[in-house]
Structures are given as structure tokens and as C-alpha cells.
């Protein structure tokens, strides 16, 4: 496996998906803004989409890949039997879970968005829309199972390209949005579930080379399958802690008008970088790391871990600096059109600023958790994540009455840094990770390159102050140009000071 090339493949399709997701969100911002329709749809979309992130973005991998890889190393036929047992159990569990929640949807939505309960119009609309979007959970979770099998065989392209389908379907609906009026939110909700089904079909075409579905509900649950499901719930919680924190934030934010929308738009921006700096790296290294853990090859394990962490810092740190210096200009240029007012820009940019301070921590959690998962340890990151979520809830609730929704990104960032540092400390204590000799030199170089890049980016957005103003229609072009110039400078400067070496692209792990 080539870490940088594999991460690049995964990252490329993920970036395409996120860019299409941005276009989708711009169209939503134009047609819905931060209205009650937007709030209701974002709750309906957030619930299954959070589960998608929990399952799809490395979490299902965390429990499945180490076990499946171990079986694959021993015997291919045994790995297929193991995979089939998992699929059948997953299919049954998801079917009854979706059915149960569809029946009790009013209670479920009231728990997820308690602030809507006092407004009959908002709560009724949110219930209707969530009923339409919730089947997406079953489709995308089964699709994640197929992705995990492909990732185990070091096939990352199809799995990372599948989410593009969701964005294409929703963009198609939004392009005819002006003819749908208030019914737009219903069509979007239908589109979410339809897209989930299409993703499932798309991935099955690729996975058939390694696995063919054999539905069989009369099976015995082996000790290996029991071990997998025992690991699955802790891994969902620990690997998906950032998404759980965001879901908690959505629940609390529902008590303030438009706050759900502000957080949603801010979330969309930093998730673009997190998709590569944390999620892609974690997904890519897990199969090889699991293999070398099984083979007890300590030198390879150390090499992969250090390079993964170094790459995560190289990608996340400059993005965090950019969000720190230009959050308002970024939100304005990307979403400040149509129904998306100047107040919405200001509030969303405040949320983005504080999320940006936590961006490296969000990425580190994904990478550090993977180090535990490769060693079949899902309990340690689970307990740490549980404490982090409790910390997040306590800070959010205690300060929400005084300072409003902005405490949610602040609390998420504080709890995420606690989570990342605690994971690192326990990795050291369990002797599962050590820094190599050149790591800290590389870190200093990356830090210097990021700060200088941030200074350039700050200069560019100041230079284009008029062109980036809220009322200027072409402001997104000037933002993209400023970002592009800053990225090029960062890469060239990093090569110059050897924070990044070109030869690393061809290294095999």
C-alpha cells in the first residue's frame, strides 16, 4: 500500500463529493436560507446523515476490517462465511430498527429536537420529513458494509465515490426547486432515501468480486461474530465522537431559532478538510496496520503510524489557520446569497471560527482511534469518548442560556482536544505508539509553513476586501483564487523547507 496515493484516491473522490455537497448547500441556502423549513429539513437530514457518518466514515471499518483481515490472512473461504454472517445480522438489525423508529417517530424527533416541541408547525414538519429520510440509514449502513470489504482489499475508489450519488440526486431536485415552492423540502427528503438505495446498488456491483450476498436467517452466531458485534458499538461511539458531539449540539441548538442552520453551514465547511486529514487517513491505514499487528511487525507499525499522524497534521493545521483568519469571508463567499442574510453569515462564521480551532483535534481522534482499532481495542477509545461527550454536554448546557448557540462549537472543540490528548496518553501507556526520531522536526516545519501561509491568506482577503463584501455577487471567485494561491504557496514552501518530501509519494507501506 502507498499511504499518500491511497489517501489521495480516497481524498479525491471525497473532495468531489464535498464540493458537490457545497453546491447542494448553496442551493439550499438560496431557496431555504435559515427559515423554519430549513431547520426542519436539517433535523430530518441530520439524523440519518449522522448515522451515515457514524457507519460510513471509518466507524464500521474500525470493527470489521481488523477481524475480516485476520480471517482473510488465514483462509479466504472463512472470511466469506464471516462476512455473510455479519451481513445477515446487520440486515435484520437495521430493518427492525428503522421499522421501530418509523412507528415511534414523533417521540424520536421530540428527543432529537426538543426545542421544536413548543412549535407545532416545526415539530410536525420535522416528523414528516424524518419519516421520509430515515430509510436512508438502512441503505447507507449496508453500503458501508460493502465499503469495508472493498477497503480491506485496499480498494478505496468506489467506496469514497459512492456519497457523490446523494449530492447529485439532491442537486437535481434543487435545480427545479423554484417550481416546487414549500414542497421542495418533501422532495429533498424523498431524494435522501432514494440516493441511499442507489449507493447500495452502486457499491454491490464493485464488491461482487470479493463477496456475494447469501441471505440466510437460520444461522448460528459464531464466537468471531459475537466478538465483532461486541466491538461494533464501542467503535461507533469512539470513532464517531465528533458526529455525536454535533448531534448533541443540534439537540441543544433546537431551542434557539435558526441555530440548527447556523451550525449546519459551519459544519459543512470544516468537514471538507476533516474528510481527508482524519477520515481518509484512518480508513486507508487500517487494513495494512491490522495486517502488521497480526504479523507483529513492529517496525512497519511504527512507520505507518508516524507517517499517518504527520500527514494528518500536514493537512489539518493549515486549514485550521485559514479558518482562524478568514471564517467570516469564507461563509459569506460560499453561502451569502439569496435568503442567506448578513446576520446568518455572521452567526455561521462565529461557529466556523470555533470549529476551526478544533479541526486538528477532530482529525487526530480519527487517526489515534485507528491505532487502537488495529489492535482490536475499541473499549479504551470508547471510555475516553464517553467522558468527552459528557464534558461537551455539561459545558453546552451550563453556558447555553447565557451565550446561546455559540457555546456548542466551543464545547465541541474543548471536548475534542481533551479526547485527542487522552487517546495519545493511553496509546503511550499501552505501548501502542511512539514518535520516531524525525517527527518533531517535521511538526515544527509544518507549523512554520502553516503560519506563513495563514499570513498570506490574511493579506489576500484584506487585499480583496471589496470583492469579498457580502453584496458582491462574484465574491466566491475571489475566495477560491485566494485559497488556491495560499495552497500553492503552502505546498511549495513545505517542499522548500522539507516539511514535505516529494519522494514520500512513492513510499510503500
Model pLDDT, residue 443: 92
Closest by CA to 479, choosing from 267, 271, 327, is 327
* Lowest mean pLDDT segment, chosen from 37-46, 55-64, 404-413: 55-64
Distance CA 149, CA 463 (A): 49
Q: What number of other Cβ atoms are within 10 A of residue 299's Cβ? A: 8
- What are the grid coordinates assigned to 68, written together? 475480516
Model pLDDT, residue 3: 62
Mean pLDDT of all residues in 412-437 = 92
pLDDT at 506 over 60: no
- What are the grid coordinates assigned to 161, written together? 465515490
Model pLDDT, residue 147: 86
- What are the grid coordinates assigned to 213, written together? 450476498
What is the percent of the chain where pLDDT is above 70? 89
Model pLDDT, residue 424: 95
pLDDT at 358 over 80: yes
Report which of residues 35 and 145 the model is more confident about: 145
Report which of residues 289 and 56 the model is more confident about: 289
DSSP string, 423-457: HHHHHHHTT-----TTHHHHHHHHHHHHHHHHHHH
What is the percent of the chain where pLDDT is above 90? 31
Q: Judge whether 509 and 288 are in contact, CB under 8 Å.
A: yes
Closest by CA to 98, choosing from 66, 138, 142, 40, is 138
Distance CA 41, CA 126 (A): 7
- What are the grid coordinates assigned to 479, written together? 475566495
pTM: 0.77
Model pLDDT, residue 488: 95
Return mean pLDDT, the chain.
Answer: 84
Model pLDDT, residue 503: 63
502 band by pLDDT with thresholds 50, 70 and 90: low
pLDDT tens figures, 112-152: 778 778 878 888 888 999 999 999 989 988 988 898 888 88
Model pLDDT, residue 401: 86
DSSP string, 146-208: HHHHHHHTT--HHHHHTTHHHHHHHHHHHHTGGGTGGGHHHHHHHHHHHHHHHHHHHHHHHHT
Contacts 24+ apart (CB under 8 A), 203-208: 203/143, 203/146, 203/147, 203/150, 203/158, 203/159, 203/162, 204/146, 206/146, 206/150, 206/155, 206/158, 207/146, 207/149, 207/150
pLDDT tens figures, 315-354: 899 999 999 999 999 999 988 887 788 898 999 999 999 9
Model pLDDT, residue 331: 92
* Cβ-Cβ contacts under 8 Å for 151 (sequence gap 6 or more): 61, 65, 159, 283, 284, 286, 287
pLDDT tens figures, 68-117: 777 777 777 777 888 888 888 888 888 998 999 999 999 988 887 787 78
pLDDT at 21 over 90: no
pLDDT at 56 over 60: no
How many residues are present in the chain? 509
Model pLDDT, residue 507: 53
pLDDT tens figures, 230-265: 777 777 766 666 667 777 777 787 788 778 788 888
Q: Which of 180-184, 270-274, 344-348 has the highest mean pLDDT?
A: 344-348
CA angle 485, 490, 492 (to 5 degrees): 95
Model pLDDT, residue 360: 93
Q: Judge whether 164 and 106 are in contact, CB under 8 Å.
A: no
* Lowest mean pLDDT segment, chosen from 77-81, 199-203, 271-275, 479-483: 271-275
Amino acid at each position: 500500500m502507498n499511504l499518500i496515493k491511497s489517501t489521495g484516491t480516497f481524498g479525491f473522490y471525497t473532495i468531489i463529493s464535498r464540493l458537490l455537497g457545497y453546491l447542494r448547500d448553496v442551493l439550499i441556502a438560496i431557496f431555504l436560507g435559515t427559515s423554519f423549513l430549513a431547520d426542519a429539513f436539517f433535523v430530518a437530514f441530520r439524523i440519518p446523515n449522522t448515522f451515515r457518518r457514524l457507519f460510513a466514515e471509518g466507524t464500521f471499518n474500525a470493527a470489521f476490517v481488523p477481524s475480516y483481515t485476520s480471517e482473510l490472512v488465514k483462509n479466504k473461504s472463512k472470511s466469506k462465511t464471516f462476512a455473510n454472517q455479519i451481513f445477515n445480522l446487520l440486515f435484520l438489525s437495521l430493518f427492525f430498527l428503522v421499522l421501530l423508529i418509523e412507528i415511534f417517530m414523533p417521540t424520536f424527533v421530540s428527543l432529537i429536537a426538543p426545542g421544536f416541541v413548543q412549535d407545532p408547525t416545526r415539530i410536525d414538519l420535522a416528523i414528516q420529513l424524518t419519516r421520509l429520510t430515515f430509510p436512508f440509514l438502512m441503505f447507507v449502513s449496508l453500503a458501508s458494509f460493502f465499503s469495508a470489504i472493498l477497503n480491506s482489499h485496499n480498494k478505496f475508489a468506489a467506496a469514497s465515490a459512492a456519497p457523490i450519488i446523494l449530492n447529485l440526486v439532491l442537486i437535481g431536485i434543487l435545480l427545479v426547486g423554484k417550481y416546487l415552492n414549500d414542497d421542495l423540502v418533501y422532495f429533498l427528503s424523498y431524494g435522501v432515501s432514494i440516493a441511499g438505495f442507489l449507493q447500495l446498488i452502486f457499491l454491490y456491483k464493485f464488491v461482487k468480486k470479493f463477496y456475494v450476498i447469501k441471505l440466510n436467517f437460520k444461522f448460528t452466531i459464531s464466537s468471531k461474530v459475537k466478538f465483532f458485534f461486541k466491538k461494533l458499538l464501542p467503535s461507533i461511539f469512539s470513532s464517531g465522537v465528533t458526529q455525536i458531539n454535533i448531534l448533541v449540539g443540534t439537540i441543544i441548538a433546537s431551542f434557539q431559532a435558526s441555530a440548527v442552520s447556523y451550525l449546519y453551514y459551519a459544519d459543512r465547511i470544516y468537514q471538507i478538510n476533516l474528510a481527508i486529514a482524519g477520515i481518509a487517513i484512518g480508513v486507508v491505514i487500517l487494513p495494512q496496520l491490522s495486517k502488521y499487528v497480526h504479523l507483529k511487525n513492529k517496525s512497519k507499525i511504527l512507520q505507518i503510524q508516524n507517517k499517518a499522524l504527520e500527514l494528518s497534521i500536514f493537512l489539518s493545521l493549515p486549514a485550521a489557520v485559514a479558518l482562524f483568519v478568514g471564517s467570516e469571508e469564507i461563509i459569506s463567499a460560499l453561502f451569502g446569497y439569496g435568503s442567506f442574510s448578513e446576520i446568518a453569515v455572521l452567526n455561521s462564521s462565529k461557529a466556523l471560527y470555533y470549529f476551526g480551532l478544533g479541526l486538528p483535534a477532530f482529525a487526530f481522534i480519527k487517526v489515534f482511534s485507528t491505532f487502537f482499532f488495529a489492535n482490536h481495542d475499541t473499549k479504551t477509545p470508547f471510555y475516553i469518548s464517553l467522558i468527552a461527550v459528557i464534558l461537551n454536554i455539561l459545558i453546552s448546557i451550563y453556558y447555553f442560556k447565557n451565550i446561546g448557540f455559540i457555546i456548542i462549537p466551543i464545547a465541541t472543540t474543548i471536548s475534542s482536544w481533551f479526547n485527542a490528548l487522552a487517546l495519545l496518553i493511553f496509546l503511550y501507556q499501552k505501548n501502542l505508539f511512539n514518535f520516531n526520531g524525525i517527527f518533531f522536526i517535521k511538526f515544527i516545519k509544518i507549523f512554520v509553513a502553516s503560519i506563513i501561509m495563514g499570513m498570506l491568506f490574511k493579506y489576500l482577503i484584506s487585499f480583496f476586501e471589496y470583492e469579498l463584501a457580502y453584496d458582491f455577487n462574484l465574491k466566491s471567485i475571489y475566495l477560491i483564487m485566494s485559497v488556491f494561491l495560499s495552497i500553492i504557496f503552502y505546498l511549495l514552501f513545505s517542499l522548500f523547507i522539507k516539511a514535505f518530501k516529494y519522494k514520500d509519494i512513492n513510499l510503500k507501506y
